[in-house]
Every structure is written in C-alpha cells, then in structure tokens.
Structure 1
Amino acid sequence: MTIEHPPTGRPAAPPTGRPAAEERQVRAARRFSRIGLVITVGWLLVVPAFVVWTGLPGPAWLAALVPLYVASIVLHLIRIRQYVRSLGTPARPGFVVAACVVGLALTLVGVASSWAGWTWALVAGILLGDVVAGRRARVIAVWVLASAAVVLGLSYALGALLHTDIPVSPWYAAAIAGFYVASMWCLDVERLWWFKAVTDLDDSRRTAAELATARERLRLADDLHDILGHALEVVAFKSELAARLLEADPERARTEMDEVQRVARESLIEVRALVRSTRGTDLAVELAGARAVLGSAGVALEVHGDPEAVAPAARNVLGRVLREAMTNVLRHAQPSRCTIEIAPDRLVVCNDGVSGPGDGAGTGLAGLERYLEEHAGRLAAGGDGRGGYPLGAGLRGGYRLEAVLGSRR
C-alpha cells in the first residue's frame, strides 16, 4: 500500500469568532439594502403623487390606472420575496409574462390618460428590473433595449393620436417614458445584486468558520489518537508482560508496572499540553522510548542516523511519525527485528513482522498522512512482499522517499 499526496500549505488557525468590524460591515450592508428597498417604494409612491399634483385624469382612466398600479406593486413585492429566498435565480415565466403585460399596459394607459402620463413608465422600469434580475448581462441588454424601443414607439403613436391639442411634442412624453423604462430597472437590479453579494459573503464567512472548526476538531482527534493510542498499546503490552513475569521474576514484573505508571502519567501530561497547544514530539525522545519498548519486547533494534542532525522543526514532525510507527508495530506486528533510518529530510521504519492496519483498523495512518500534508511532507507505507513492512515519511515533498522504500522491495 502506498499513500501519496502532493504537499499543501499549512492551514490557518481556525477563527475563534467573527471580528466585530466584520459584523458591523455585514449589518451595515444589510441596512443599506433595506434602505434601497424603501427608496424603491418611495419612487413608486412618487408616481401617484405627481399625477395628483398635475391634475387627476378622468374617471375612466383612473379605473384602469389604479388596478394596474396596485398589481405592479404586488408583483414587485412578490419578486422581492422570491429573490431574497433564492438569491440570484431568474424570474419564473409566469411572473415575466405578468410583469410585461402589467408594466406595458400601465405605461400606455398612463401616456394616453394625460400629457404628464409618462410618469407611470417609472413603475414599468422597476418591473423590468424584477424581470431581468438574476440573468446574464447579454440577456439584460436585449431586454432593456427591446423594452425601451417598444415603449418609445407605442407611446409616441398614442401621444400623436390622442394629444394633438396639447402644445407638447409627442416625442417628449415618449422619450421620457422610454428613458424611465431603460434606466429605472438598474435601481432595482443594483439593490438586489448588492443584497445577494452581501448575503453570499456572509454565508462564505460562516462556511469558512465552520470548516476551520471542523479541521481543528480533526486535528485534535488525530493528536488524541496519537497520544492515547500509543500510550494504551504500551500499557497493554507491559501489563501483559508483567502478568507473565509475576511468578517467574517478581522484580522484573514490578519494574514493568512502574513503567506502566510512568507511561500513563506522561500521556496525561501530553493530553494537558495538547489542550494548551504546547505539545511536542521530539525525535530523540521518541527514539529513546522506542528503544525501551522494543527492548522490553525482545525486539532487536538497529538505528542508522543521528536525530540531533535533524532540524528542530523536522524533529518534531518525524518524532510523531516514529511514535505512530511504534504504535503500529505493537498493535499489528510480532517482529524480531526493527530498523530505523534517520536522515535530515526523512524517516524510515521497517520491521520484519506482519504489520500494517488490516480490515477495521484505526485511523492512525490516515491521521499521520494528514499531519504530513500540513507540513509539506509525504507518507509511504506497505508490505515489501518478504515479510517486512517499511513505513517512511519524507519532508519537503518527500523526494527520494520512493527510491529508499523501493530498494527494500
């Protein structure tokens, strides 16, 4: 079995909470989005206010304008609600048809009702924003140009036909109506776009915080497995050995039980250090522990290389690799001989027993692999086909690691 992954950068520390400045920014953005909604509604109210100021059209026109105006506001609120619930989604076909019919009818009836009826086109422009929101830029451009052209042409035709007695060119009302339709949609779309951007940014930050928390929990789980798995294997092994020696060699059994107490106390200290994030795994210390454990088990140990020649940061990384390798030896193998090769950029541990996690084994190698990835390293492990099991870890990409393990197979 070979486990390889390209090196990755060390993950950033998980955030302990969102900074107050970011919270204020998100709240401010949401507040401005709501202000934009109020402004849009205000523009919608400007239309009837202007109509009242310029003089009400006839009752027949009002009978058509009021329902169309109310329908426009209802459609706008429906679209806002839908867009907020599912940001970035285009309007449904039914809404598009209804908005186009109501907006165009309101504009044309308004232009036909009085010389100042072009004001109603402002509402149609906002409805156009509801229609194009969430669509691609090319689609929006086509919708805006086509809508402005239709409103301009039909408004001019109606103005020329119905207002021949007013000394105002039909182009005046038609041009303003087309301008409102071609420009007011932007107010609606921009507000919705900013609201979507702020919400997406807020969701991304929350997701990043959750992922960082999950990554930190995974790291703690790996470290706990590293500490307690190794300690419990040593405790179980030495307890069994002491039980067998109790009658034949009571003094040796007492020594082994003292060693069990020492390992348990050291593991408790390491767990406390892990909680305080001050835990280390020095290669020299782990090597001394490996000598003691394997010596008690009657396993001949051969060491090539000096741990003091390894850089301090690398000693901490390779020390953890050696600890996991010894845990695997105690848990999965019955070796008579073990070899440890130490180099500044790698560590190779090989035993001649049947080793390696089988079905239902724990997550030690998987956690070790993740740990090495965080430190720009690589893990390789697997049987060599001759009863041996080499496990190697290389730093800075693990170059030459495969060549070293390959020479053993």
Structure 2
Amino acid sequence: MTTDRPPTAEPKGRLAAEERQVRAARRFSRIGLLMTVGWLLLVPAFVLWTGLPEPAWLAALVPLYLAAMVLHLIRIRRYVRSLGTPASPVFVTAACAVGLAITLVGVASSWAGWTWALVAGILLGDVVAGRRARVIALWVVASAAVVVALTYALGALVRPSIEGVPISPWFAAGIAGFYVASMWCLDVERLWWFKAVTDLDDSRRTAAELATARERLRLADDLHDILGHALEVVAFKSELAARLLEADPDRARSEMDEVQRVARESLTEVRALVRSTRDTDLAIELAGARAVLGSAGVALEVRGDPDAVAPAARNVLGRVLREAMTNVLRHAEPSRCTIEIGADRLVVCNDGVSGPGDGAGTGLAGLERYLEEHAGRLAAGCDGRGGYRLEAVLGSGR
C-alpha cells in the first residue's frame, strides 16, 4: 500500500491544476450566460436605434419583455440546480405565450419588429432544455413554422414600410422564424455547460474526500499490520523469557534482546510509514518467520525461493506473510507450519486451530483490501482437518 504510492506532493499539485481548470471553465460558462443576457439586451438597443414604436405598442412590448427576462432568469436558476430537468408545464405555457405575443406585437409595431423574435428564441431554449433530441427537434420545427405562418399573416395585414416603401411580409416572417429556430441553441448550450462544470467540480471534491478517507483507512491497516505483528511477537517472546528465566537465563536474556530488537524495528517502520517509505520484503519477512516460529518450537517447511519473485510482488507478498504469521501466533497453537512461495502466489498452512478460525480479527479484512488494490485476491479459512490455510494470489495468477 505505502510502498508504491507516489509522493504526496504530486496529487496536491494535480488537484491544484484541476482547481484552476475548473475555475477557468466556470468563468467561461458565466461569460456564456452573460452573452445570452447580452442578446436579450440587444433587442431594446436595436429598437432604440431604429426608432421607438408608437406608445400603444410600447405599452405592450415593455411588460412582455420584462416578463420574458423574469422567466429566463427563473429557468436558469432551476436548471442549474438540476441538470436535465425539463421545464414544468406552467413554465412552458407561460414561456410560449410570452414568446409568441412579443413576436407578433413586435412585428406589428414597426418595420424592425422582427427583432423581438430573438426573445422568443431564447425562451424556446428554456422550454426545450433538458428534453430528448427528438422532442427538441419537434419543438423547434413546430415553433418556427407557427412563427413564420403567423408573422407572415400579420405582416400581410399590417404591411409595415420604411419611409413609405412597403416591406414584403416574407422578410419579417423569415427573420423571425430564423431567430426562433436558431437562438435556442445559444441558451441550451450555455445552460448545459454551466451546470456540467458545476457537476464536475462537485465530483472532483467528492473524489478528494474519498481519497482522504481511503488514505486514513490505509494508515489504519498499516498500523494494524506493524503494531499487531510487533506486539504479538513481543508478548510471545516476553512470556517465553519469563518461563526460561530460572531454567535457562542465557536464552531468556537472548529472547529479551530479541524483544528489544522487534520493538526498535517496529518504531522504525512506524516512522517510515509516516514518511511513506515503508517496505516489506518477502525474504526479510520469511527470515523473521523462521526466527519467531523457531522460538515457539513450531516446525517450519518452506517451499519455493523468495528471490525468484519479482520485486513488486515480493513487497506485496511480504505484507501477506507478516499478517499470516501474526494470525498464526494469535489464533492458533501450531506444531507445524508450511509456507509455499510462487512467482505470484503465497500459501501459508498451519495446524493447531482450536476454533473456526474465520473472521478472527480485522487484519484479514485490511489485507484483502490491500490485495484488491494490487489486482490480487485473498482466500483464507479452515482446511477441515484442524488446520488453517491462507492463500494470496496476485493478478497474473488469477
């Protein structure tokens, strides 16, 4: 777990770069929304430039325009909160009524009244946002056809003119239909990008929180691995030294020296864990297993050579062997133990299991998570003959 993890500075740098990218994307999304609002503001600006319509028409256009702005802002707020949610029937009815009314009143108000159809196109984007492509296509085609038909009929009836020269009804109808059939894209695109960036930012934050929780779990597993094994060895050898104190003082002193060595090594490993430089080599763990089991009077048989295992696999299988030895000392009273080493496989078998032997502690659960992170699997349990068998297989041995 800890040995092949990249330095912590790299993830921090990557997160900082992602944070800058998300901020930049969010800025551009907001710029897109401002562009949509800018198009809406272009309508009254163009009307002022071409000349205000008569007061009667203006009294109708201003409330319709304000209503369209309010509807658009309401839709933006609701859509950004939940990407892909279609507009409610009430909103659809209000937006269609306002969009069609402002288009028709605009066309009737002056020769440049077709500009008001741009507002209808934005409202159409609010209506179709979050719907399926086929439904959007039907909405756009039907809306454009209705606008062209009604504005043509109205233009033929009103006959707007520039300085006394009549304008063809097809002119206003064509431009109004074009606005309705095209401006919805601008609205839908900006809304989608803004919410998509927001969702990506939320996902990135969630991933960072999950990574933090996973790191804490990793540290807990490693501390259990280090301290559980060390304390088990210390307890066993201290008990052995106490029994040998009168019968064999020299061996008792040797066992206590071993206790001191194990304690110091464990302290070194804890410090290495904090620095993320801890290593568990299979050959070193095998030598430790020989010493511990030899002191306990357990006959050990080793099949296979740890030096024939690849470096990366040696580190992973070394962790497995350490946890296996901890379980042997803690949960069994063995007389013999067998360790089988393969290129991508480790099997540890022992006798002397007094209970069922499954789920005796949390070490195997952490070991199973560790192997899953290294594309491996763990199988452990009683062999049905009063013994216990633990097998760890890495990816290529599946």
Question: TM-score normalized by structure 2?
Answer: 0.90
CA shift, 1:311, in A, is 3.0
Provide the residue aligned with 2:138 in structure 1.
Answer: 142
Question: CA 1:17–1:135 in structure 2 vs 1: closer, same or farther (change >3 Å)?
Answer: farther
Letter in 2 for 1:194: W
Quick one: structure 1 residues 48 and 394, their matched pair in 2 at CA, closer, same or farther if it must change by over 3 Å? closer
Pairing of 1:238-249 with structure 2 (within 5 A): 238-249=237-248
Structure 1 runs of 4+ with >6 Å offset: 10-14
Going from structure 1 to structure 2, the CA distance change for 1:164 and 1:290 (only over 3 Å counts) comes to closer
SS state of the match for residue 251, structure 2? helix
Aligned twin of 2:22 = 26
Residues 39-74 of structure 1, C-alpha deviations (whole Å, 9 max, x = no match):
222222222222233332222222221111110011
CA change 1:176–1:12 in 2 (3 A) is farther
Superposition map of 1:118-267 within 5 A: 118-163=114-159, 167-267=166-266
**Secondary structure of the structure 1 residue equivalent to 2:12:** coil
Match of 1:64 in 2: 60
2:233–2:259 Cα contact (<8 Å) kept: yes
Q: Deviations over 1:349-389 (max 9, x none)?
A: 11111178857743211222222233333322221111011
- SS of 1:349's equivalent? strand
Q: After alignment, is 294-303 or 138-147 more displaced?
A: 294-303
Output the CA distance in 2 between the equivalents of 1:213 and 1:169. Answer: 68
Determine whether 1:16 maps to 2:15: no
State the shift of 1:315 in Å: 2.2
Secondary structure of residue in 2 paired with 1:38: helix
Q: 1:346 to 1:48 in 2, by over 3 A?
A: closer
Residue 111 of structure 2 contacts residue 160 of structure 2 at CA under 8 Å; is this kept in 1? no
Aligned length: 390
8 Å contact 1:379–1:393 — kept in the other structure? Answer: yes
Spell out, residue by residue over 1:240-292, the C-alpha distance to the aligned partner (whole angstroms, 9 max, x if none): 22333344444433332222211111001111122222222222221221122
Shift of 1:150: 0.8
Deviation at 1:12, TM superposition (A): 7.6
Change (3 A) 1:394 1:34: closer
User: For each residue in 1:176-228, what CA deviation from the matched residue of structure 2 results, as whole angstroms up to 9, or x when unmatched?
Assistant: 11111111111111111222332233333333333333333333322222111
Asked whether the 8 Å contact 2:358–2:382 carries over to 1, the reply is: no
* Match of residue 99, structure 1, among 95, 108, 117: 95
Aligned letter for 1:391?
L
Deviates more, 1:146-155 or 1:313-322: 313-322
Where do 5+ consecutive residues of structure 2 fail to align? none
Amino acid at match of 1:77: L
Residue type of the alignment partner of 1:70: L
Give unmatched runs, 5+ long, in structure 1.
1-9, 400-409
- The answer for the alignment partner of 1:47 in structure 2 is 43
What is the aligned counterpart of 1:113 among 109, 120, 139?
A: 109
Aligned pair in 2 of structure 1 residues 189, 224: CA closer, same or farther (>3 Å)?
same
- Correspondence for 2:313: 314
Alpha-carbon shift at residue 19 of structure 1 (Å): 5.2
1:6 aligned partner: none
- Identify which of 59, 82, 88 aligns with 2:84: 88
C-alpha displacement at 1:336, in angstroms? 1.4
CA distance in 1, matches of 2:21, 2:166: 53
1:44 maps to amino acid: L
Counterpart residue type for residue 87 of structure 1: L
> Percent sequence identity over matched residues?
87
CA distance in 2, matches of 1:302, 1:250: 29
Say whether the 8 Å CA contact 2:346–2:392 is kept in structure 1.
yes
Equivalent residues of 1:304, 1:340 under 8 A apart = yes
Query: Match for 1:99: what amino acid?
Result: A
Read off the aligned partner of 1:100 and give its amino acid letter.
C
Between stretches 91-100 and 365-374, larger displacement belongs to 365-374
Partner of 2:393: 394
Residue equivalent to 1:273? 272
Instruction: Indicate the SS of the match to 1:16.
Output: helix
| Conserved? CA contact 2:331–2:360, under 8 Å | no
Match of 2:348, SS state, is strand
Aligned-partner SS, 1:344: coil
Instruction: For residue 49 of structure 2, give the secondary structure of its aligned residue in structure 1.
Output: helix
Q: Is the CA contact 1:378–1:397 (under 8 Å) kept in the aligned structure 2?
A: no
SS of equivalent residue, structure 1 residue 194: helix
Q: Taking structure 1 as reference, are residues 50 and 311 closer, same or farther at Cα in structure 2, changes over 3 Å only?
A: closer
SS class of match (1:89): coil
Question: Counterpart of 1:382?
Answer: 381
Distance, in Å, in 2 between the alignment partners of 1:316 and 1:138 is 56
Match for residue 361 of structure 2? 362
Aligned-partner Cα distance in 2 for 1:185–1:291: 76
Q: 1:205 and 1:238, CA in 2 relative to 1: closer, same or farther beyond 3 A?
A: same
Q: Tell me which moved more, 178-187 or 309-318.
A: 309-318
For residue 128 of structure 2, what is the amino acid of its counterpart? Answer: V
- Partner of 1:380, secondary structure, is strand
